Structure 1
Amino acid sequence: MNGAINIALGHVGSISLLFSHTVKETVRKRPEWPVILDQMHHLGVRSVAIATVTALFTGMVLSLQTSYSLAAYGAKLFVGDIVALSLVRELGPVLTALMVGGRVGAGITAEIGSMKVTEQIDAIRAMAANPVRKLVVPKVLAIVIMLPILVVFADFVGIMGGLTMAVFTLNQPAAFYMQHVVQALSVQDVLSGVGKSIFFALFISLIACHSGLTAEGGADGVGRATTQTVVAASLAVLVSDFFLTKFFLAF
């Protein structure tokens, strides 16, 4: 047990050190925006489909479950309120981070890990280049920029999924549903969801890059590192969500 805790703390320390190096390299020299834009397309735009499907069916299921639960109290008119608040505050940021993080995190670890075990990263260092600047900074910035955008998009898609169920299954007028959505949401709700997504993006990208940079043992080692990334990133999102929720509710 103590050994596992020590290993976990060691990983946290290494990831924190990687974060400090990433910040230093970002501030020290102007970021390479063409590379970052390419990463934004690869990591963010290509994740739109999975974010859309996840949000759409989450909104639809949430609308159905909420309507049946509230029917016993004669409060089905509040379906729009609950769907909007649940998605924007919690389910939108968390589920999008989990789904996108699994895809993006695994890809980053596999890419950097393959470079590590084939000594390409050593070659980068031999050419007096910094692997953190070349490999980590563009990916971290790309995810930090794109995940909040994906979360806002997923929130909208989820609310539209709830609207579909409200109109065609619950026989609620679309205008009535949207009126409750608008009344229920506040700027603080949206900002809290976006704020969470920024932290989630940092956790996902740093864990993925760290796992890739520390991978060893050939193809098997890269496979293990990829699996560890998905598990660690998912746990980081879920655990941090609790503390971030308490933080944002304090304001």
Structure 2
Amino acid sequence: MAIEKENNNNEPKPVGAFGRSFITLYEVFGFIGRFFKEVFIPPYEFKELMRQCYEIGYRSALLISTTGFITGLVFTKQSRPSLSEFGATSWLPSLVGIALLRTLAPLLTGLIAAGKVGSSIGAELGSMKVSEQIDAMEVSATNPFKFLVVTRVLAATITMPILTFYTAMIGMLGALLNVSVNEGTSATTFFQSALENITFLDIIASTIKAIIFGFTIAIVGCYQGYHSSKGTEGVGKAANSAVVTAMFLIFIEEVVCVQFFSLFNT
């Protein structure tokens, strides 16, 4: 009995929620640090990188096109009554251009990608983790982190700015349809008005935000999938956590970026 009591006293105490948070934070930063280390070390998986760019970019185009077009159409329709009270409906193209390029296009694209791309990455890597495919890659002298994580994070980071400006263009087409039907504005006049107040800083800000969003979505999805467990239940949790966490971080990053870039507009 004395020995049992001594062994029980020597058992490590369970880590509380506060301690687990620090452990998770340490693992996340270690995961990100490993990415920046592996990304510069050969060999480089260019073929897999191109495949991931296709999967993330091309396969998301239809959903982004539909969402962007409807957003531009609805935003223009909802903004008209407020502007018409002041006789300023001619400002609609400029308003739509500024709103889409500065905020709506990066944020909308980020949220869509978080739901589609983030969940896909989390589920795919989680399935490979629980089925021990990642362990098999390590045994066969393949670097699974470089092949699975680095390529996906780079692909999302490269593809997101392209998708963002594509969303802005499709959104403007939706706005153009509404303005043309109601005001009879030509496409040339619409795009001249929409783009005349767009500055180089707006383009740079949207590009930087898209890069940050893409990196966040992919690194969160890869981390959740790479550390999933408990069979199929863990795969589902990894996909769900990837979406929720990525969306939460995107909103925080949006607020920080808006505050940061507003310093240059003053």
TM over 0.5: yes
User: Aligned partners of 1:10 and 1:59: how far apart in 2?
Assistant: 43
Indicate the SS of the match to 2:151. helix
Alignment of 1:1-251 (within 5 A): 7-251=20-264
Indicate the SS of the match to 2:196. helix
> In the TM superposition, what whole-angstrom CA distance separates every residue of 1:134-185 from its partner, at most 9, and x where no partner exists?
2101101111111110101111111111111111134334333222112121
Aligned length: 250
How far residue 210 of structure 1 moved from its aligned partner, in angstroms, is 0.3
User: Aligned partners of 1:113 and 1:119: how far apart in 2?
Assistant: 10
- Pick closer, same or farther for the CA change 1:220–1:190 going to 2, 3 Å: same
How far residue 129 of structure 1 moved from its aligned partner, in angstroms, is 2.9
Which stretches in structure 2 are left out of the alignment for 5+ residues?
1-15
- Pick closer, same or farther for the CA change 1:201–1:31 going to 2, 3 Å: same
User: Aligned partners of 2:85 and 2:19: how far apart in 1?
Assistant: 51
Amino acid at match of 1:21: R
User: Aligned partners of 1:6 and 1:53: how far apart in 2?
Assistant: 44
Contact 2:130 2:231 in 1 (8 A): yes
- Pick closer, same or farther for the CA change 1:98–1:64 going to 2, 3 Å: same
User: Aligned partners of 2:256 and 2:229: how far apart in 1?
Assistant: 33
How far residue 102 of structure 1 moved from its aligned partner, in angstroms, is 0.9
Identity %: 31
Give the TM-score, by structure 1 length: 0.94
Indicate the SS of the match to 1:128. coil
How far residue 17 of structure 1 moved from its aligned partner, in angstroms, is 1.6
Indicate the SS of the match to 1:31. coil
User: Aligned partners of 1:160 and 1:241: how far apart in 2?
Assistant: 25
> In the TM superposition, what whole-angstrom CA distance separates every residue of 1:86-144 from its partner, at most 9, and x where no partner exists?
11011100111111221111111111101111111122222333221121011011111
How far residue 9 of structure 1 moved from its aligned partner, in angstroms, is 4.7
- Pick closer, same or farther for the CA change 1:196–1:177 going to 2, 3 Å: same
Indicate the SS of the match to 1:169. helix
Give the TM-score, by structure 2 length: 0.89
